Amino acid sequence: MKLDIKLPTAQNKVMNYVKVFVSVFAVFNKNGGVLPKSILWADGSEYKIDKVVLRERAPCKSGGVLPFRYTVIMNGQVKYLYYERDVERWFVEKEY
């Protein structure tokens, strides 16, 4: 499924985003919390999440439902990882 949202930038460019569904290794604690530990891409590459900075309900640029957005640190960079709890899937957004 491909959802496109076009957002204007400061340079009047139009940016398109698509959801890229990924596998995530996560810890589910006894209180129902979810802590993602690493992301596994379709090609088998695994990327460790160094730290989860924030978890909040926030819209994604590619549209759709209101997922949980995890602000994470990976390899010294801030990234967003999304979790759609009602269908239990994880995704990141890719600009194209």
- CA dist 18 and 3 (Å) reads 6
Burial of 67 (0-12, 13-18, 19+ CB in 10 A): buried
pLDDT in tens, 25-78: 999 999 988 999 999 998 999 999 999 999 999 988 877 778 999 999 999 999
Residue 41 is assigned to a structural domain of this protein: yes
- Position 12 scores a pLDDT of 57
Domain-embedded: residue 1:
no
How many domains in the chain?
Answer: 1
Note down the domain range covering 77: 6-95
Residue 67 or residue 1, greater confidence: 67
| pLDDT, mean of residues 70-90 | 94
In a domain, 88, yes or no: yes
The verdict on residue 64 lying in a domain is yes
Look at residue 23 and tell me if it is in a domain. Answer: yes
What per-residue confidence (pLDDT) applies to 81? 97
- Residue 45 is predicted with a pLDDT of 95
Percentage, residues of the chain above pLDDT 90: 65
